[in-house]
Chain A
């Protein structure tokens, strides 16, 4: 272990650990990742897309509690194993009816629902229904769905969009940026022309164009966000490569007869990872915001799939009509995650001693 204690990476990690806001951000990000992976297995509502609608109890406040009658719907729904349940949810075999009272006499189930309707089920056996108590920690939305469950599942979309978009932007950005910086000349001119052209198109407009061209859907969002963010990465990488290229160890490597490929990958890229990590963290935050914005505008994730943006879209009307929490909760979730990534990005910038502006 003594061997790696003094490596630049280890030193940066030690400095990062001293930066409390950055570590708080990192912890929050890790927590959100764990929650997002656990997904359906920790969400109170484990149905796919957390879409168990109980309209009779719509718009209930946080902490709301009620009895629910679960009545078997006689559909043959295959049971999933624990892993696939965690990732894809489990469709319910029951129909849920929130109730105040129930009475079961001789195969007849009489229910007084939450909104005071009387329901009667005849010819039902005791094993075809059950009565449970359900609690809605963050209340219910306009369709009577559990907000907490949708929030948990929404984290998935945000993080996946972040990861994939950053991945795409890094792949394209590092490749083009390092080629432009290292080769220079005509290649540089051509790549920078492309970068400047893409940069001059307003981000949202470009995303709209991509969405309109390829159709709506989660996958398109990944691509659209990724394809708009690579320009930042490319510019930063190009600038860094240009400055590292002037270092004498690069000239020394040339004097040793190393190939351009080796110089680029072993000597230049490891030395520009710092700025790249900083911009990746900033881009992660941007991607989350972009997805939320697009979903809010209805271009992104399509209902009933929950995402923080669609939750905002569905509920923003209530922000001013007495139920502000419905809109505030997803907004807060977006804010906290974006803040965490920005704090982490700043921490990385200090720890890696990066002397550039963190975000464009």
Chain B
């Protein structure tokens, strides 16, 4: 069967003008989408994958952005191909929604909160087709059925805040499909969702594609997701396409070192690694004065690199035994954190949200305890309660035998030296008006660690070097650093207190897979060097499994399952855990082969 061309991007160049100069966000990019195909575009943030798709929609904000060269040819079913770059804004409006439509990452913000979901979908239908209110409603209900929303009538009359994240994304898909577009661009549509929801959305998109004969351009930073959905894959790096080919080829035989790096840096599920391979294991990048990059490939195959960091099961077992031999550093007994939601007339609480509900566990010195669960399961609240950042209602927290919940203010202040937390969002966890040197130094000043500021400064420099930053970064401000660097700064700040115990609350969730690998490796190194005890909280089971010795699965405020990480993964006891594990995109070649048939 010969495939018909649908969209052809030829030598596309999109530039952004910033205060620092021109940024080539998309640099000479060419690819073709055929009818009925799913193209996956993968790359880390800043690789130009989103800008490429926005260029095709002609949605680049101008200024600062501008398409400066190239063609985007759209081939309609009948007639001559149309160059989208040359269309006027008015002509483009006819294409948008009708022929090419888009689904965005954030389902929470891409629906208008003051209109019902039904209103928004019928509006889209009426805008592009000559339909009466009644026809539009019928069509909308059909679409809701198609995207497998339960009780379409109810959803039609519901406001966005009444729906879950997955349901909102389904409404968005319904809206995008309302005019039977030829091309559906999905920009990280599942990144903000839990794995289990992600799985159902991916299945839905696969089903729909078959049904309506549309092509999908699927943009993501996660190669695992690509493996679940794409026929063809484009790998982008710093505005350029470094590799493109069929999904199967790419996963079985990646040629570009960057692709190898991306494949290798995902935490594996079926074996243990001492550290994760990173992109720089496969290539070196040098930048000359003009900002041109030269990539030199290293002599290392994917298999060799992975083999070199694998940990033998016997070593894991020995480590577990030596860990469990000690007295627990932290004991949690019957902990409850309930937040009041309703009060009666006299101010008495009548209803609670039970964020953490009767949770008990021990943590042994030197071990890493993983805490995994979907959003809203109470894992973050649990971490905060341990540090008394959220109030506990009942229960006991014993840290080195001391009852944390009954400590007075000054004892608690002393205890904070030993217990530290690293937060999720690297963009908001540093005060933007403080240089990072001062930010790291401040806790030492407050707690009177070291004699004077001169010694503390030296210590800060030492800490910066520990987390692979440099002394010259001392007087820089947070906005000058990338997400991964900021997370290192947060790690350095936590280290400044010489803690024994660190809670990592989704510390790598906001980072790209390749940067995530670097930060995870750093945390692993620090654990060996300083003998830390971690509680590692994440929604991503693969990350938790890589980091943790033991693992707790949480669901609705309660512990669902707890035990040795490898055992839980290989032999989950509870249905909830099984569902969670099944939903992880694994990126295995067998799965791709069976999917592509």
The residues of A with any CB-CB pair to B shorter than 8 Å are 3, 6-9, 247-249, 251-258, 262, 266-267, 270-271
Q: For the complex, give the distance between the alpha carbons of A146 and B69 in Å.
A: 67
Q: Assuming A6-B477, A7-B477, is B420 touching A255 (CB within 8 A)?
A: yes
- State the Cβ distance, A252 to closest chain B Cβ, in Å: 5
Q: For the complex, give the distance between the alpha carbons of A72 and B544 in Å.
A: 96
Residue of B nearest to A255 (CB): B421
- State the Cβ distance, B561 to closest chain A Cβ, in Å: 29
- State the Cβ distance, B404 to closest chain A Cβ, in Å: 13
How many residues of B are in contact with the other chain, CB < 8 A? 32
- State the Cβ distance, B276 to closest chain A Cβ, in Å: 25
Q: Does B432 contact A (CB under 8 A)?
A: yes
Q: Which of B412, B421, B424, B480 contacts A6 (CB 8 A)?
A: B480
Contact B477 A255 (CB under 8 A): no
Q: For the complex, give the distance between the alpha carbons of A258 and B443 in Å.
A: 8
Contact B416 A8 (CB under 8 A): no
Q: Which of B425, B475, B480 contacts A248 (CB 8 A)?
A: B425
Q: Does B433 contact A (CB under 8 A)?
A: yes
Contact A271 B446 (CB under 8 A): no
Q: List 11 A-B contacts (CB under 8 A).
A: A8-B479, A9-B433, A247-B428, A248-B424, A248-B428, A249-B430, A252-B421, A253-B431, A255-B387, A257-B443, A267-B431
Known: A252-B490, A257-B417, A271-B431. 6 other contacts (CB 8 A): A6-B477, A8-B479, A253-B431, A256-B420, A257-B447, A266-B434
Q: For the complex, give the distance between the alpha carbons of A6 and B480 in Å.
A: 8
Contacts of A256 in B (CB 8 A): 416, 420, 442-443, 446-447, 497
Contact A251 B477 (CB under 8 A): no
Q: Which of B417, B432, B475, B490 contacts A8 (CB 8 A)?
A: B432
Q: Which of B376-409 contact A (CB under 8 A)?
A: 384, 387, 389
Please encode chain B, from 468 to 485, with 1 for each CB lying within 8 Å of some chain A CB and 0 for all others: 000000011101100000
Contacts of B435 in A (CB 8 A): 3, 7
Contact A251 B431 (CB under 8 A): no
Residue of B nearest to A267 (CB): B431
Residue of A nearest to B426 (CB): A248
Q: For the complex, give the distance between the alpha carbons of A247 and B476 in Å.
A: 20
Q: Does B588 contact A (CB under 8 A)?
A: no
- State the Cβ distance, A243 to closest chain B Cβ, in Å: 11
Q: Assuming A252-B421, A252-B423, A262-B446, is B428 touching A257 (CB within 8 A)?
A: no
- State the Cβ distance, B53 to closest chain A Cβ, in Å: 27
Q: For the complex, give the distance between the alpha carbons of A247 and B426 in Å.
A: 11
Q: Assuming A3-B475, A6-B476, A8-B477, is B416 touching A252 (CB within 8 A)?
A: no
Q: For the complex, give the distance between the alpha carbons of A248 and B442 in Å.
A: 16
Contact B429 A249 (CB under 8 A): yes
Contacts of A252 in B (CB 8 A): 421, 423, 429, 490, 493
Q: What 3 pairs between A and B have smallest CB-CB spacing?
A: A257-B416, A248-B429, A257-B413
- State the Cβ distance, A257 to closest chain B Cβ, in Å: 4
- State the Cβ distance, B343 to closest chain A Cβ, in Å: 13
Q: For the complex, give the distance between the alpha carbons of A253 and B429 in Å.
A: 9
Contacts of B417 in A (CB 8 A): 257
Q: Which of B433, B442, B447, B476 contacts A271 (CB 8 A)?
A: B433
Q: For the complex, give the distance between the alpha carbons of A310 and B443 in Å.
A: 56
Contact A251 B447 (CB under 8 A): no
Contact B477 A257 (CB under 8 A): no
Residue of B nearest to A259 (CB): B446
Contacts of A7 in B (CB 8 A): 433, 435, 477
Please encode chain B, from 43 to 81, with 1 for each CB lying within 8 Å of some chain A CB and 0 for all others: 000000000000000000000000000000000000000
Contact A249 B428 (CB under 8 A): yes
Most buried by B among A6, A247, A248, A266: A248
Contacts of B413 in A (CB 8 A): 257
Q: For the complex, give the distance between the alpha carbons of A248 and B432 in Å.
A: 11
Q: Which of A247, A255, A262 contacts B389 (CB 8 A)?
A: A255
Most buried by B among A248, A252, A254, A267: A252
Most buried by A among B387, B431, B493, B497: B431
Q: For the complex, give the distance between the alpha carbons of A258 and B439 in Å.
A: 12
Q: For the complex, give the distance between the alpha carbons of A257 and B497 in Å.
A: 11
Contact B389 A249 (CB under 8 A): no
Contact B443 A270 (CB under 8 A): no
Residue of B nearest to A248 (CB): B429
Please encode chain B, from 481 to 497, with 1 for each CB lying within 8 Å of some chain A CB and 0 for all others: 00000000010010001
Contacts of A253 in B (CB 8 A): 431
Contacts of A254 in B (CB 8 A): 389
Contacts of B442 in A (CB 8 A): 256, 258, 266
Q: For the complex, give the distance between the alpha carbons of A7 and B423 in Å.
A: 24
Residue of A nearest to B415 (CB): A257
Q: For the complex, give the distance between the alpha carbons of A248 and B480 in Å.
A: 18
Q: Assuming A256-B416, A257-B447, is B423 touching A8 (CB within 8 A)?
A: no
Q: For the complex, give the distance between the alpha carbons of A247 and B425 in Å.
A: 9
Contacts of A8 in B (CB 8 A): 432-433, 477, 479
Contact B446 A257 (CB under 8 A): yes
Contacts of B433 in A (CB 8 A): 7-9, 270-271
Contacts of B480 in A (CB 8 A): 6
Contacts of A257 in B (CB 8 A): 412-413, 416-417, 443, 446-447
Contact A249 B431 (CB under 8 A): yes
Contacts of A9 in B (CB 8 A): 433
Q: Assuming A255-B387, A256-B443, is B432 touching A271 (CB within 8 A)?
A: yes
Contacts of A271 in B (CB 8 A): 431-433
Contact A255 B416 (CB under 8 A): yes
Contacts of A251 in B (CB 8 A): 384, 389, 423
Q: For the complex, give the distance between the alpha carbons of A6 and B447 in Å.
A: 29
- State the Cβ distance, B425 to closest chain A Cβ, in Å: 6
Q: For the complex, give the distance between the alpha carbons of A112 and B478 in Å.
A: 78
Q: For the complex, give the distance between the alpha carbons of A262 and B443 in Å.
A: 11
- State the Cβ distance, A269 to closest chain B Cβ, in Å: 10
Residue of B nearest to A18 (CB): B19
Contact B446 A258 (CB under 8 A): yes
Q: For the complex, give the distance between the alpha carbons of A289 and B387 in Å.
A: 52
Contacts of B384 in A (CB 8 A): 251
Q: For the complex, give the distance between the alpha carbons of A248 and B497 in Å.
A: 18
Residue of A nearest to B472 (CB): A2
